[in-house]
A and B are shown apart, each in its own frame.
Chain A
Amino acid sequence: MPNMSLTKVPMPEQDPNVRNKNFEEVALGYTKEMAMEEATRCINCKNKPCMSGCPVCVRIPEFIAKVAAGEFEEAYKIITSTNGLPAVCGRVCPQENQCEGKCVRGIKGEPVSIGRLERFVADYHMAHSNDDAVKPESNGIKVAVVGAGPAGLTCAGDLAKLGYEVTIFEAFHKAGGVLVYGIPEFRLPKAIVQKEVENLEALGVKVETDMVIGRVLSIDEIMEMGFKAVFIGSGAGLPSFMGIEGEALVGVYSANEYLTRANLMKAYLDDYDTPIIKSKNVAVVGGGNVAMDAARTALRLGAENVYIVYRRGMEELPARGEEVHHAIEEGIIFKTLNNPVKLIGDEDGRVCKMECVEMELGEPDASGRRRPMVIEGSNFQLDVDTVIMSLGTSPNPLIRTTTEGLEANKWGCLVVNEDTLETTRDNVYAGGDAVTGAATVILAMGAGKQAAASIHERLSK
């Protein structure tokens, strides 16, 4: 008889007033007992709509049945047969729009907590298993992957399992992409990402860091080195600015820079050499997950007041509901229906005020969202010493401008065949944010999987 409780088994969390001063993980994860209890809420329905919501098709009811039975290693095998990064996905996927959004238990009450269960299984395995992944027998065919973010890691893992000799070229000094430079420690501990990368290396994947493709090697030179196919998973890392007066003042960051300093360079730790501004009053402009991450990071670095400045309303925030909820609990101040028009500096060129206007929402625009309109004469000034622009990112032009015949659309996203993910260059594939523009970790992983399947089909003919 399934557990008919309408609500999820709650997950323990650090107290908001404790956690907003440290960088340790906020959500503490299920215990064995909690996981087994939550697992019994799955009714193992016939149609498995949850699976259609998962971009990498994890066999969800099957793994949950194993959790309910206490067979956690079995559950891990089922998940990892299609998902190479379960500890990551269980933490950062927007499950409410994916697997959990389709769960039949969600029609009346809360859906089964698929993400928390996936996370539990992955963490349990990491804590208890000593079996290293076994390197499959090589088929002798070399494939290159450009970018060690979620798309590249997934593509590399799938190809390695099929016997390919895979080399990942990564521009930064650490593999992981946004998982290491973007998403903060308090949402995704870096040790977990490191472990997932080590799992790949155990499968025989080589990770070459400090390799900026487009500068040190071109795509053509990679092909000349004997790689039979290339997968480009270089992401969308180019930050946007607003183009308003004062954006070059000292104290104005892109979210990418602020988070890279904090996360990748560990500027929050005293014994690391990279500096970051110690702020009092911080305004983060934007309403997505990256904006929430930047705001919550600023708070942990000791800021007294942290504002989210967003031109639409609370209902329209693109960030995950859970992240907004966490931000509010921690004391982030939401100034929605506000938009900056100018940044004002002091005589040393440091930002000291942000001039904003109030907004109201008009008729829906072409994208279906209600268009924000300025309320004339509503200008006001906010005291700030740090401004973090979190307005979205687009693909970096470095690879497409140095590779002949590689076509991109007007937003700079690489053009691919939707079925195979092959680009306009023979045997060069692409996926993730480099193709879609900034999207989610799991969609990038889905693309990495799809490209690996296409590459295998082509090369094994």
Chain B
Amino acid sequence: MYKILRRKQLNDTVVRLDVEAPFIAKKAKAGQFIILRIDERGERMPLTIADTNAEEGSVSIIFQIVGQTTMLLSQMKEGDFLLDFVGPLGAATEFGDIKKACVIGGGVGNAIAYPSAKALFNMGVDVDVIAGFRSKDIVILEDEYKEVCNRLFITTDDGTYGEKGFVTNKLQDLIDAGNNYDLVIAIGPIPMMKFVSKVTEPYNIKTLVSLNPIMIDGTGMCGGCRVTVGGEIKFACVDGPDFDGHQVDYDELMKRNSTYREFEAHDRENCRMYKAADEMGGAK
């Protein structure tokens, strides 16, 4: 059992939990993830490690409420326990020997981009961050980012905060302005990672993306998370989750991620949290 030490609501649908898991806190590196299970009936769900505190023995996860499991997770309080919390899983990000990097996060993907920015900044790399959001009310991690980069650019699709536009517009501007990046890291929705990779490809800028396929075990024993990279089948849970952005088959990944769409939609409407409330005579 793994105790929830702190809970913080980052915006309407994004929550941060700090979980007591000393072994993982000691070992985790940027790019790695955990798999959690809330209770006996729960599914195994992967989440990237957003931060660790080795002294306290805690691991932070940040997630958006999108379905039944994240909804149940968002209802958990400080002092509650998660049944299972496994990690650190996946290969740590290999940054290579670089001087200047641009870290790009899209929406809740910023929770995954943040530890990479932090790791690079602590290595002495010149780090630009582009954090993209749909709109002002869902901006997260602004203060945290400021601590771990040289320049922070926030974009919103609707222009309600920061610069109006997509992260790709900003990246193109920065490249056009003569910023010679050795590495671009893009983490967010699949189309965003695909289009960032398209921007960097003509300039031959090494681009890493963090993929988010469906997973069960997270240890390489089922292949549910397989993705095609450079024409070869890879298991994201052991070979990744980071891959060369110019080699990934994004369209295939998007299709595979829709495998259980009907089931998930049914689940959202019939979340067992609501059911329990119904049984107790509560209203939806």
On A, residues with C-beta under 8 Å from B are: 171-173, 209-212, 215-217, 237-239, 241, 243, 247-251, 253-254, 256-257, 260-261, 265-266, 271-275, 277, 348-350, 396-398
With the chains together, A265 CA to B260 CA distance in Å? 15
Task: Tell whether B117 is near chain A: CB-to-CB under 8 Å.
Answer: no
CB proximity of A306 to chain B, nearest CB, Å: 20
Q: Are A273 and B252 in touch, CB under 8 angstroms?
A: no
For A173, what are the chain B residues with a Cβ–Cβ distance below 8 Å? 37, 44, 83-84, 86
Whether the pair A239, B221 counts as a contact (CB closer than 8 A) is: yes
Residues from chain B with a CB closer than 8 A to the CB of A257 are: 216, 222-224
Range, interface on chain B: 35 or more
Chain B residue numbers with a CB within 8 Å of A249 are: 255
Q: Is the CB of A348 within 8 A of B255?
A: yes
Q: List 8 A-B contacts (CB under 8 A).
A: A173-B44, A215-B88, A217-B27, A239-B223, A241-B233, A254-B222, A349-B258, A396-B219
List the 5 closest pairs (A to B, CB-CB), nearest first: A349-B255, A257-B222, A237-B221, A275-B263, A273-B43
Q: When the two chains form their complex, are residues A248 and B226 in contact, meaning their CB atoms are under 8 A apart?
A: yes
B window 213-234: CB within 8 A of A: 216-217, 219-224, 226-228, 233
Is B238 an interface position by the 8 A CB rule?
yes
Chain B residues with Cβ below 8 Å from A253 are: 224
B99 at the A interface (CB under 8 A): no
Chain A residues in 8 Å Cβ range of B272 = 271, 273
Query: How far is B43's CA from A273's CA once the two chains are assembled, in angstroms?
Result: 5
Task: Report if A212-B86 is in contact (Cβ < 8 Å); known contacts: A239-B221, A257-B216, A396-B221.
Answer: yes
* CB-contact partner of B222 in A211, A256, A266, under 8 A: A256
User: Are B42 and A349 within 8 A (Cβ)?
Assistant: no
Identify which of residues 195-226 in chain B touch chain A, using a CB-to-CB cut-off of 8 Å. Answer: 216-217, 219-224, 226
Q: Is B193 interfacial (CB-CB < 8 Å)? A: no
**Inter-chain contacts of A254 with B (CB < 8 A):** 222-224
* Shortest Cβ distance from residue A296 to the other chain B in the assembled complex, whole angstroms: 19
Residue pair A248, B222 in contact (C-beta under 8 Å): no
Choose among A237, A248, A260, A272 the residue that contacts B256 (Cβ–Cβ < 8 A): A248
**A265-B216 contact, Cβ under 8 Å, with A173-B83, A241-B233, A271-B41:** yes
Residues on A with C-beta less than 8 A from B27 are: 215-217
A172–B217 touching, CB < 8 Å: yes
Which positions in B face A, CB cutoff 8 Å? 23-24, 27, 37, 41-44, 68-69, 83-89, 216-217, 219-224, 226-228, 233, 238, 249, 252, 255-256, 258-260, 263-264, 267, 272
> Once bound together, how far apart are the Cα atoms of A396 and B89, in whole Å?
14
Question: Is A216 a contact partner of B37 (Cβ separation < 8 A)?
Answer: no
**Cross-chain contact A212 with B89 (CB below 8 angstroms):** yes
**A261 contacts across to B, CB distance below 8 A:** 216
Please indicate the chain B residues that have their CB under 8 angstroms from the CB of A275 in the complex.
43, 260, 263-264, 267
- The reply to whether B86 and A274 contact each other, CB–CB distance below 8 Å, is no
Whether B221 lies near A238 (C-beta < 8 A) is yes
Q: How far is the CB of A299 from chain B (nearest CB, A)?
A: 20
CA distance A272 to B83 in the complex (A): 15
Min distance, Cβ B188 to any Cβ of chain A, angstroms:
22
Please determine whether B255 and A273 come into contact, CB atoms closer than 8 angstroms: no
Q: Are B87 and A238 in contact (CB under 8 A)?
A: no
Known contacts A216-B88, A271-B272, A396-B219; 6 further A-B pairs (Cβ under 8 A):
A210-B84, A249-B255, A257-B222, A273-B41, A275-B267, A397-B238
Q: Provided the pairs A212-B89, A271-B41, A349-B252 are in contact, do residues A248 and B224 lie with their beta carbons within 8 angstroms?
A: no
Select from chain B the residue with minimum beta-carbon distance to A393: B221
CA distance A173 to B224 in the complex (A): 18
Bound-state Cα–Cα, A238 to B37, Å: 22
Shortest CB-to-CB span from B72 to chain A, Å, is 9
User: How many angstroms from the CA of A248 to the CA of B223 in the assembled complex?
Assistant: 10
- List chain B residues, Cβ under 8 A from A277: 259-260
Min CB distance, A354 to chain B, in Å?
18
Shortest beta-carbon distance from B255 to chain A in Å: 3
Give complex CA distance A172, B233 in Å: 24
Alpha-carbon gap, A349 to B261, bound state (A): 13
Do the beta carbons of B256 and A238 come within 8 Å of each other?
Answer: no
B235 shortest CB reach to chain A, Å? 9
Note all chain B residues with C-beta closer than 8 A to A217.
23, 27
Are A398 and B252 neighbours in the complex by a CB distance under 8 Å? no
Contacts of B226 in A (CB 8 A): 241, 248
The interface residues of chain B lying within 8 Å CB-to-CB of A172 are: 217
